[in-house]
Amino acid sequence: MERIEVRLLGQLLVRRSDGSVVAPDEWRTTRTTDLLRLLALDAGQPVATHVVIDRLWPNVASERGRASLRTAASQLRKVLRADCLERRAGALVLHGAWVDTQAYDGLVTRLDAARRAGEHAEVVALAQQAEALYRGDVDAPDASGDWLHEVRDRLRRTRCRALLDASNAAACLGWMRDSLDLARQAVELEESEEAARALMRAYAGMGEVPKAMQVFDRLRTDLAEQLGVDPSPQTRALHLQLLTGTAAAATAPRRLVGHEESVNAMVAAITSGLDSGEGSLVWLRGEPGSGRDSVVEAACATMGLSVHNMNHDPLWVKEAAPGEPWDMPAADVIVMPAARDVPRHARVVLRSLMERHGGVLVVPVRRTSPTEQVGGERVATGTLVDVGPLTGEDFDELARQVLQGEPTARLVQRLRAASAGLSGTACRVARRWLGEGRIVWTEDGLDLVAGRGLAELHLPAQVRRLLRPLSPTATDVVHLVALAGDEVASEEISAVIERLHGFPVPASELERLVDLGLLVRGVHGYRLKERRACDDLVGWLRPGARQRIHQVIAELVTLSPPRRVRHLIGAGRHRLACEVGCAEIAQAQARGDDDAVQELVEAMLELPASLQPRSLLRDTQSLQRSERSAR
């Protein structure tokens, strides 16, 4: 770690250049910490001496103020164990320091530039990065004076503005779940009309218009009770648009992802049947959940035709009095009940129905042929349209649509595995996960967490609330367990903390973290109670601190070979990770452990491409061939 790290957002946390964290009792006086805060806000820039004295010692004589400043500066150098303060022409400069407020302001500045350039995806990404830094409001004790409260209020306003900009940008992209989460956070910070409108638009984009109306009703009541006024014309106009269903769509109409060829084939089959004037049969072949119904509906919508789906409405004929003939539904296209296969005698019945209807009958089946063998000749009995599973970018786009946000690669992979790539099944699974609260917003995008019933928790705020009362040592314990990603023995935790801080962590500190609900004891050690907190805790760490903890974990914690390789990569020790991974792959191949080889190959694929050995590519190709042959 090459620089001092100063965290002003949330509880003050300072990490020296050697990686150790400054304990609260090392500061001695409040003025020493205030001097650090004041200089850190403008780190690298001179702060006039008279400004420092006016803010920290406003009610003392000039000479006494200068003496107090010299004492506080000397104490600050002693605590930080570095000559990081420089006197420059009647001013003080804090140099060699990374400060989270400066990093946050830099991200917000880039966000504003991206907003003005219309780069919506960049706006959302920068907002998520900024939120990972914002552990909480600046800790502003009353003893510090009004200047620190002003800094806290400015950053709160900046954060609210960034969240609203990102919510609007996400809505423009059609990422309505991201838009909703960002708007909710903005409303928590500031109950303004603009924030309420963003929340109303997000709810409406999610199809939850009643909730959008509740937001308006609550806003109108609050304005009437507190200010005696009505909502602004802009808010009332949006309310009217939602009432009448005339609100402008944030994005273009969605296409049926990945089934364009099937839709085109269905359009051609329907057109051919209608043009003949005698009707036709269309065999719609695909697995249940592959999106067969959606293909028919999209084709009929393209042609402006009516469709009656008997899988949704089993009453497929009109009721008639005894003795009267039954009539087919008055629709251009009828979708028959889905079946695994259609035997020969059933096809005769279908042809009879088709002749009575005079239109197009679509028969969803899992397996069939559009022809049958009759007297040695193949006689056509219908048109075949296939609907297969989605692959590659098509499935990724479907995930974005159904989740209404940008998912992580891990979430897409889990969704593909749970649905076998079938679009309809993927939509049902994703909606079930959403209803269970298992889809959460992280810095990297929407992600899947274990457990149920977590939807009511607001993770970033929850993490900030839990971290606020922790000591620096306890904070590093939580970060260590989050980075380890699995249970860590108490002895290993103590060894890592001793390497980082110079003293082992007391057992009472671990028990306190268990009592607070941050950690739980497992069979082999301690792990995070809320697994979904890992991404936020890891994302909050500065890259230098994260690499240092990764390296100590790789050296001192008992790990499986793939996990050790990943920690070495996280520590920036790429060549060592390559050497360890290659050696472990050779041992796994010698004992015929293909599963271990696959795990190691997946871990080493995280290396930069220039450092991946050629043998790794051969192992990857070999594993792919083995998987194909197994299927």
Query: Is-contact 499 549, C-beta < 8 A?
Result: no
Give the integer Cα–Cα distance in Å for 125 and 81: 37
| pLDDT computed for residue 251 by the predictor | 41
CA–centroid distance for 584 within its chain: 33
Give the integer Cα–Cα distance in Å for 567 and 456: 33
- 197 C-beta neighbours (distance < 10 Å), count: 25
| pLDDT computed for residue 616 by the predictor | 56
| pLDDT computed for residue 463 by the predictor | 55
Tell me the β-bridge partners of 527: 520
**pLDDT tens string 127-145:** 988 888 887 888 888 777 7
Query: Is-contact 262 295, C-beta < 8 A?
Result: yes
Give the integer Cα–Cα distance in Å for 400 and 406: 6
- Please, how many CA atoms are within 13 Å of residue 463, restricted to the half-sphere of its CB? 24
DSSP string, 18-47: TSPBPPGGGS-SHHHHHHHHHHHHTTTS-E
What angle do the packed helices 62-80 and 30-41 form, to 10 degrees?
Answer: 80
| pLDDT computed for residue 62 by the predictor | 84
Give the integer Cα–Cα distance in Å for 213 and 216: 5
Residues of the chain with pLDDT under 50: 1, 249-253, 316-318, 320, 372-380, 451-460, 631
Residue 606: strand, helix, or coil: coil
* Beta strands 97-99 and 85-87, pairing class: unpaired
Q: Is 375 left (phi over 0), alpha (psi -120 to 50) or beta?
A: left
| pLDDT computed for residue 510 by the predictor | 84
Alpha-carbon distance values, 349 to 269, 319, 346, 356, 368 (Å): 20, 20, 5, 11, 16
Instruction: Give backbone dihedrals phi and psi of 606, rounded to 5 degrees, phi first.
Output: -80, -10
Give the integer Cα–Cα distance in Å for 278 and 315: 24
Give the integer Cα–Cα distance in Å for 46 and 48: 6
Query: Is-contact 367 343, C-beta < 8 A?
Result: no
Give the integer Cα–Cα distance in Å for 109 and 594: 49
3-state helix, strand, coil in the chain (%, to 5): 60, 10, 30
Give the integer Cα–Cα distance in Å for 482 and 528: 7
Give the integer Cα–Cα distance in Å for 402 and 430: 7
Within 8 A by CB and 6+ apart from 66, the residues are: 49, 53
| pLDDT computed for residue 157 by the predictor | 92
Name the burial class of residue 359, with classes exposed (0-12), middle (13-18) and buried (19+) by CB atoms within 10 angstroms of its CB.
Answer: buried
Give the integer Cα–Cα distance in Å for 95 and 39: 9
Query: Is-contact 264 397, C-beta < 8 A?
Result: no
Give the integer Cα–Cα distance in Å for 254 and 170: 16
Give the integer Cα–Cα distance in Å for 164 and 193: 11
Encoding tokens for residue 494? 């103590």
| pLDDT computed for residue 246 by the predictor | 64
Instruction: Give backbone dihedrals phi and psi of 587, rounded to 5 degrees, phi first.
Output: -65, -40
| pLDDT computed for residue 2 by the predictor | 54
- Identify the CA nearest to 333 among candidates 289, 385, 393: 385
* Helix (H) or strand (E) run with residue 5 in it: strand 4-7
* Beta strands 383-386 and 445-448, pairing class: unpaired
DSSP string, 397-438: HHHHHHHTS-B-HHHHHHHHHHHTT-HHHHHHHHHHHHHTT-
Give the integer Cα–Cα distance in Å for 54 and 436: 54
- Please, how many CA atoms are within 13 Å of residue 466, restricted to the half-sphere of its CB? 25
Residue 15: strand, helix, or coil: strand
